Amino acid sequence: MDFDYTEEQQMLQDAIGRFLEKNYTFEQRREIVASRIGYSPTVWEGMAALGLLGVPVAADAGGFGGGGVETMIVMEALGRHLSVEPYLGTVVMAASCVGAVGTKDQKDYLLPLIMDGSMRLACAFNEPGGRYDLNHVQTTARQDGGFWILNGAKSVVLHGAVADLLIVSARTSGAPGDREGISLFFVNPGEDGVGGREYPTYDGMRAAEITLDNVQVSHDSLIGVDGHALPVIELTVDRAIAAVCAEAVGVMEALNAATLEYLKTRKQFGVPIGRFQTLQHRMVDMVMHCEQAKSMALLAAVKVDDPDVVERRRAVSAAKELIGRSGRFVGQQAIQLHGGMGMTDELAVGHFVKRLAAIDTQYGDADHHLDRFATAAQTPAEPILAKPRSRWKQL
Amino acid sequence: MDLNYTPEQLAFRDEVRAFVRASLPHELSRKVIEHKHLDKADFLTWQRILFEKGWIAPHWPVEFGGCGWDAVRRHILEEECAAAGAPPLISFGLHMVGPVIYTFGSPEQKARYLPRILSSEDWWCQGYSEPGSGSDLASLQTRAVREGDHYVVNGQKTWTTLAQHADMIFCLVRTSTTGKKQEGISFLLIDMHSPGITVRPIITLDGAHEVNEVWFEDVRVPVENLVGEEGRGWTYAKFLLSHERTNIAGVSRSKRELAFLKAIAAQESDGGRPLIDNVRFRDKISRVEIDLMALEITVLRVLAAESAGKAPGPEASILKIKGTEIQQALSELMMEAVGPYALPYLPAQWSNHWLGERVGPEYAGPLAARYFNMRKVTIYGGSNEIQRNIISQAILGL
Ligand SMILES: Cc1cc2nc3c(=O)[nH]c(=O)nc-3n(C[C@H](O)[C@H](O)[C@H](O)COP(=O)(O)OP(=O)(O)OC[C@H]3O[C@@H](n4cnc5c(N)ncnc54)[C@H](O)[C@@H]3O)c2cc1C
């Protein structure tokens, strides 16, 4: 058992920490949030230069070759600085999804473009009315000559409008709700028939509603195996969940530090308010919640790479459930302990709290994951297929 | 023991219900029920309708233009208005400074201000809190120095709700720096249009402009605007705070929110079924509902004691704590109910008249902002920590 970072991991943590200290202060972030595109191309370039955009990419493909723990290190730092960069969709989700089931051509083409910062991706998995269910896929894809024709709508696609390429789940067979029959496609947002509506989300990010109206994509836009994408979607989302859990820990640490500082400096009744025992105990509870969250983020980071799907599901959902709860407590109490100041847009506190609330909503809230945790073993765990089984036989 | 309304009370309820149904504009109730933005005119519209009817101040004595109703009748009116989606009344005049003026004010103050409060001609705001004086209000520093027949006021108030609309502000100011700090405080009525007053917006985390900083620079206030005696402001303020706290339970409004929550949960789908059929979520709704049922009876018990001649005491703190906790729980569950569609932040769409295509269901739009905004209720009006201190000291003697 070893909870220490390796020298390489330590260097990664120092590098991103230093970079964000300099380039992502709260004031800089405020400007980025208010900018037209809602993220910072300069920061993105800087992250590329530091190799951060290749953290989960295999070493033989030119990446850092990192796993869940390396992603956790990066996400914690991004959380502490309330980053709104499209890191989650592009690096954590798209790069690992392509890495898991992409063809050699797809990897050779995309991974270098992701790593050098010239391409951003977004994953469009959710649909209106589907809440958090990944198999609620009503968008359809049918084959027509050498093309796939896609029709449907995708909801709340994080960074959907700044993406140069979308990864879209669509049904190639079966009925909405079926686990079988879901496929993944690359869709160029500039393609005829792709409609988009961008909007800000309350936590300073951007998202989009995307519609697909007879969108024609080429045959090699299929990612992985036709009809068998759910396991890789689930893996990709689990990686995203482990990542946002780490991000939440970064947010909670920053909130707790700010609140502790406030308890020591804000005076009422002639003493720092941190002298009132009820606030001391509250702060202690906030810290305990954060420690528990950190433990679970760590567990999720390690187990997200576990080949045992049930193990992975249980750990990831347990982490998300606990962090949903602890994030809510820490967020609400951080505002409460700051009094009126906690309610302002001016202080960072409210912004951290909003991000924590949004994290609970992303990829399933605490209740959703409580259920997924409890039923992890009963839910089928199909293998992740990169190539059709039929082709294996031919080999 | 009888928890039912008497036949007269039932008849009165029917009368109120019919009136509210006939006179509350549909556009307005839609805004209220669906958590859309209310502007100054919206509040005034409803207040004027009640004024015309003579029901704007059910709790005020008849001699000052109120109805002089007992607690049960007041409760019925509040209940019917809230259920129908009437906007809340702006309390600063009607529930706060009004009772202070008719209890402690001079005949001239009563004659001048009370009718204008009833008719909504003056919009009042509350100038208590300062940057350095929140929970410890008695430490406030805004100075009022007597110069001939004026007070000259200097200092800063903060968190002043809706001061941007206000014509008048009632302020706690320091008129003496010697002796006990509570005894150096006076209660002044100040015209917001006076030279030397600056109002600066404070934007809250939900993006709203609801609170302000109010700066006073050599503001000259006629001495006849002092309420009661110099140095007795703290007593008047405490009188007023207990009034503020009985209103703060908000049971009737919470009942309306609960109904809305259930309606949302019935429309949202989860795993192909209505969310309200998800036992995990339904239990959470039921638990808040049970808390709310209990609070309603607790409120009625306090009101009954009040009718029997007991002044609202520290029990009001219980109502404030439980009432605000329930309000927050409801706002939290509503945000949770709509899942991913809580995320879009599009304030322009939170209107009855949005013509463009909406993102997500119409009811979902404002819910996250409302959740964040509702964090205030456990902070203002005496924070819930302070309320617990009051209960432990004043009721439990700890
Ligand atoms: C949206 C909003 C609207 C408002 N509107 C108005 C208005 O119109 N007019 C007006 O005058 N004021 C208004 N207020 C101000 C409000 O009354 C104060 O925010 C409140 O009194 C708390 O003061 P504070 O913000 O300075 O917090 P602080 O007093 O600094 O409190 C910070 C934290 O310490 C806790 N604390 C403080 N003292 C103790 C203690 N002795 N024991 C235990 N815990 C303690 C508090 O509970 C809180 O959690 C408003 C506030 C808000 C947020």
The pLDDT of residue A388 is: 67
Residues B202, A339: C-beta atoms closer than 8 Å = no
Residues B118 and B56: their CA atoms lie apart, in Å, by 7
The pLDDT of residue B305 is: 80
Please state which of the ranges A117-126, B347-356, B384-393 shows the lowest mean pLDDT: B347-356
Show the tokens assigned to A271: 């003493």
Provide CATH code, domain B249-396.
1.20.140.10
A7-120 homologous superfamily: Acyl-CoA dehydrogenase/oxidase, N-terminal domain (1.10.540.10)
Task: Place A197 in a pLDDT band, splitting at 50, 70 and 90.
Answer: very high
Task: Place B246 in a pLDDT band, splitting at 50, 70 and 90.
Answer: low
Tokens 């530091």 correspond to A50
Would you call A133 an interface residue with chain B, using a CB distance cutoff of 8 Å? Answer: yes
Please state which of the ranges A282-291, B16-25, B230-239 shows the lowest mean pLDDT: B230-239
Task: Place B245 in a pLDDT band, splitting at 50, 70 and 90.
Answer: low
Give the Cβ contact number of residue B96 at 10 Å: 24
Task: Place B244 in a pLDDT band, splitting at 50, 70 and 90.
Answer: low
Provide CATH code, domain B124-231.
2.40.110.10
Name A194's bridge partners: A212
The pLDDT of residue B343 is: 98
Of all protein residues, the one whose alpha carbon is nearest to atom 24 of ligand 1 is B134
Radius of gyration, CA atoms only, chain B: 22
Residues A339, B158: C-beta atoms closer than 8 Å = no
Mean pLDDT across the stretch A366-381? Answer: 95
- A226 and A172 Cβ atoms separated by less than 8 Å: yes
Higher pLDDT, B311 or A60: A60
- Residues 6+ away with beta carbon under 8 Å from A55: A12, A63, A64, A66, A70, A71, A74, A91
Question: Which residue type is seen at B211?
Answer: V
Of all protein residues, the one whose alpha carbon is nearest to atom 42 of ligand 1 is A276
Q: How far is the CA of A358 from the centre of ligand 1 (A)?
A: 26
Give A 175-194 residues with CB within 8 A of chain B.
177
Domains of chain A, by residue range, sit at 7-120, 122-228, 231-378
Mean pLDDT of chain B: 94
Q: How far is the CA of A272 from the centre of ligand 1 (A)?
A: 14
Provide the percentage of residues in chain B whose pLDDT is more than 90.
Answer: 86
> If DSSP codes are grouped into helix, strand and coil, which group holds residue B218?
strand
Higher pLDDT, B381 or A272: A272
Residues A346, B272: C-beta atoms closer than 8 Å = no
Domains of chain B, by residue range, sit at 7-89, 124-231, 249-396
Give me the torsion for CA of A162, A167, A173, A175, rounded to 10°: -50
Task: Give the tens place of pLDDT for each residue, B103-158.
Answer: 999 999 999 999 999 999 999 999 999 999 999 999 999 999 999 999 999 999 99
The pLDDT of residue B308 is: 77
In angstroms, what separates the C-alpha of B377 from chain A's closest C-alpha? 10
Of B253, B264, B255, B262, the residue nearest B363 (C-alpha):
B264
> If DSSP codes are grouped into helix, strand and coil, which group holds residue B183?
helix
Pairing of strands A121-124, A165-171: parallel
* Closest by Cβ to A361, choosing from B136, B205, B339: B339
- A223 and A101 Cβ atoms separated by less than 8 Å: yes
DSSP notation for B313-369: -THHHHHHHHHHHHHHHHHHHHHHHTGGGG-B--GGGSSTT--SPPSS-GGGTTHHH
Number of H helices, E strands in chain A: 13, 10
Would you call A261 an interface residue with chain B, using a CB distance cutoff of 8 Å? Answer: no
The residue whose CB lies within 8 Å of the most ligand 1 atoms, and thus the one to mutate among B96, B130, B135, B214, is B135
Residues B139, A268: C-beta atoms closer than 8 Å = yes
Q: Which fold has domain A231-378?
A: Butyryl-CoA Dehydrogenase, subunit A; domain 3 (1.20.140)
Show the tokens assigned to B183: 């005894």
ipTM for the assembly: 0.97
The pLDDT of residue B243 is: 66
Mean pLDDT of chain A: 96
- Is A269's C-beta closer than 6 angstroms to any atom of ligand 1? yes
Task: Give the tens place of pLDDT for each residue, B57-72.
Answer: 998 999 999 999 988 8
A79: left (phi over 0), alpha (psi -120 to 50) or beta: alpha
Higher pLDDT, A233 or B356: A233
**Torsion angles phi and psi, residue B143, rounded to 5:** -100, 140
Look up residue B394 and give its DSSP letter.
I
Residues A297 and A79: their CA atoms lie apart, in Å, by 13
Task: Give the tens place of pLDDT for each residue, A85-144.
Answer: 999 999 999 998 999 999 999 999 999 999 999 999 999 999 999 999 999 999 999 999
CA B101 to each of CA A352, B95, B122, B225: distance values in angstroms, whole numbers, following the listed order: 43, 11, 14, 11
Residues B294 and A213: their CA atoms lie apart, in Å, by 53
Look up residue A153 and give its DSSP letter.
E
Tokens 């638990």 correspond to B287
Please say if B244 is a catalytic residue.
Answer: yes
The pLDDT of residue B70 is: 86
* Closest by Cβ to B134, choosing from A129, A209, A340: A340
Provide CATH code, domain A122-228.
2.40.110.10
Mean pLDDT across the stretch A203-232? Answer: 97
Mean pLDDT across the stretch B45-51? Answer: 98
Residues A350, B372: C-beta atoms closer than 8 Å = yes
Residues B237 and B127: their CA atoms lie apart, in Å, by 11
Pairing of strands A147-158, A140-144: antiparallel
**Torsion angles phi and psi, residue B155, rounded to 5:** 145, -170
- A359 and A75 Cβ atoms separated by less than 8 Å: no
Tell me how far the alpha carbon of residue A209 is from its chain's centroid.
18
Distance, first Cα to last Cα, chain B? 32
Give the Cβ contact number of residue A203 at 10 Å: 22
Question: Which residue type is seen at A116?
Answer: D
Report the predicted TM-score, pTM, of the whole model to 2 decimal places.
0.97
How buried is residue B118: exposed, middle or buried, by Cβ count under 10 Å (0-12/13-18/19+)?
A: buried
The pLDDT of residue A389 is: 60
Exposure string of B316-345, with b = 16+ CB inside 10 Å and e = fewer, is bbbbbbbbbbbbbbbbbbbbbbbbbbbbbb
The pLDDT of residue A395 is: 43
Give the Cβ contact number of residue A218 at 10 Å: 12
Give the Cβ contact number of residue B382 at 10 Å: 21
> If DSSP codes are grouped into helix, strand and coil, which group holds residue A142?
strand
Task: Place A394 in a pLDDT band, splitting at 50, 70 and 90.
Answer: very low
Nearest 5 degrees, angle CA B67-CA B70-CA B74?
Answer: 70
The pLDDT of residue A390 is: 56
The pLDDT of residue A289 is: 98
Residues B178 and A383: their CA atoms lie apart, in Å, by 79
Mean pLDDT across the stretch A56-77? Answer: 95
- Is B161's C-beta closer than 6 angstroms to any atom of ligand 1? yes
Give the Cβ contact number of residue B15 at 10 Å: 12
- Is A336's C-beta closer than 6 angstroms to any atom of ligand 1? yes
> If DSSP codes are grouped into helix, strand and coil, which group holds residue A333?
helix
Task: Give the tens place of pLDDT for each residue, B266-319.
Answer: 999 998 899 999 999 999 999 999 999 999 999 888 877 877 777 667 888 999
In angstroms, what separates the C-alpha of A344 from chain B's closest C-alpha? 4
Residues A350, B359: C-beta atoms closer than 8 Å = no
- A142 and A114 Cβ atoms separated by less than 8 Å: no
Would you call A277 an interface residue with chain B, using a CB distance cutoff of 8 Å? Answer: no
Show the tokens assigned to A179: 């686990």
